[in-house]
Amino acid sequence: MSANRSLLIVEDDDLLRRALKEQLTAQGDFAVIDEAADGAQSLAAVKTGVYDIILLDIGLPDMNGRDVCLKMREAGVRSPIIILTAADSEDDTIAGLDAGANDYVTKPFRMAVLLARVRAHLRQHNQSDDAIFLVGPYKFQPAAKMLVIGDGQKKIRLTEKETAILKYLYRVGNKTVSRDTLLGEVWGYNAAVTTHTLETHIYRLRQKIEAEPSAARLLLTEPGGYRLSP
């Protein structure tokens, strides 16, 4: 597993949160591990940060984890969310899954069990290439490098880079992504490409997907970067 992933731990128990961070850091799978001690902090974190996976305690001091999960999904968070529940709270578990969580782990849990779940969800999320995402009027099929309208009346073929750009913008939800971040994610952080290369690809992508490429409504230019309209 590549080590440039990011994770958010939402847990009000300071000892548990620190232990989780320590052990996950020791695994070396994550470049970023952020912490939130309550619901409000966690919602602020997902507003600015992009996480590959989120661990979410159900019993938080200011909000129920279920509502936090709902709000995260509403805010466009598409990464896997694993809820942490107490053994005697089956109702909370079900409510959490209903609210859009992908999985749950019951406290007290063994670290190895949690890690195995985290890895399984990251793998699954990565392989969701065969999935179909809705982008504006299109069905976006990353694995086929294709955008389809309706039942296939119109198909737009994308290059590998165009697919990667759209995939990343989709993944972060309704957020602006800086040119540098996009360059790093699509070309690799060590690649010697400039923002001009990225702009050229964005230009070509707009020619393909926008009704009026000069007045983009899907792939938007924002101060500081690009955003995919929801």
Chain residues binding Ca ion by CB under 5 A are: 12, 57, 59
Q: What is the DSSP letter of 78?
A: -
The beta strands (E) that lie in the chain are given as 5-10, 30-36, 53-57, 81-86, 103-107, 133-135, 138-141, 146-149, 154-157, 177-178, 219-222, 225-228
* Min separation Cβ 69 and Ca ion, Å: 14
Q: Which is nearer to Ca ion, 11 or 162 (CB)?
A: 11
Q: How far is the CB of 7 from Ca ion (least distance, A)?
A: 18
**Nearest CB to Ca ion, comparing residues 59 and 184:** 59
Nearest residue (CB) to Ca ion, 104 versus 138: 104
- From the list 54, 45, 32, the residue with the least C-alpha distance to 175 is 45
Q: How far is the CB of 131 from Ca ion (least distance, A)?
A: 32
Nearest-approach distance from CB 70 to Ca ion, in angstroms: 18
192 phi, psi to nearest 5 deg: -90, 65
Inter-residue contact 106 to 89 (CB < 8 Å): no
- Among residues 7 and 83, whose Cβ is nearest to Ca ion? 83
In the complex with Ca ion, the residue whose CB is nearer, 34 or 92, is 92
120 — phi, psi (to 5°)? -60, -40
Q: In sequence order, what are the residues at sequence separation of 6 or more whose Cβ sits closer than 8 angstroms to the Cβ of residue 124? A: 80
Query: Closest-CB residue for Ca ion?
Result: 59
In angstroms, what is the minimal distance from the CB of 138 to Ca ion? 41
Phi, psi at 106, each rounded to 5°:
-90, 135
